[in-house]
Amino acid sequence: MKIGYARVSTKHQRESLDQQIVILKKAGCEEIFSEMMSGANAKRPELTKLLKHIKPGHTLVITSIDRLGRSLKDLIDIIANLKNRSIVFQTLKEQMDTSTPTGMLMFNMMGSIAEFERSLINRRIYDGVQRAKQQGKFKGRRHSVDEKIRKDYVKMMNSGDYPISYVSKMAKVSRQTLYNWKAELAI
């Protein structure tokens, strides 16, 4: 069974949504889920409903790959989830079909590119922090709590009058953060 998904970002694109539905019907979709919602929105009710409804052996069909995912990572997560549930994924424009070796190659290439992109971003962040440290500009994350207040909480912790869990709840930080403050402030 083929199930279609159509999406547009705004009400002004209603005509485009109608076109997607017509194309999906021509492609043989028996059911079509559609919504007017930005792809950047993580909560897309119709997509969520579709992903709960679709069963192993079914095929999810979309007109274009950009209708499904809000980011490459999101798209890969959705397609991987479908594959793990034995659901075929097809795009009409890009002609990707995860039931074929070529379609799986395209999917795996997209995953590799996304992983490469993430590693490049992480490397750039690390290099930037290192440069900032060398120039004396990077001081690390600022404390959300003033030093005097941190000292008071550490003194409470050291007094033994209060359980650590109680002090951490009062300070609204984890127990580990209290121990870090204690080491940092050398109290």
Whether residue 63 contacts residue 6, with contact meaning beta carbons closer than 8 Å, is answered with: yes
Would residue 9 show up in a list of annotated catalytic residues for this protein? yes
Compute the chain's Rg from CA coordinates. 25
DSSP secondary structure, 72-91, as one string: HHHHHHHHHHHHHTT-EEEE
How far, rounded to the nearest angstrom, does the alpha carbon of residue 121 sit from its chain's CA centroid? 16
Among 9, 64, 159, 165, the one annotated catalytic: 9
Whether residue 67 contacts residue 5, with contact meaning beta carbons closer than 8 Å, is answered with: yes
- The residues carrying an active-site annotation are 9
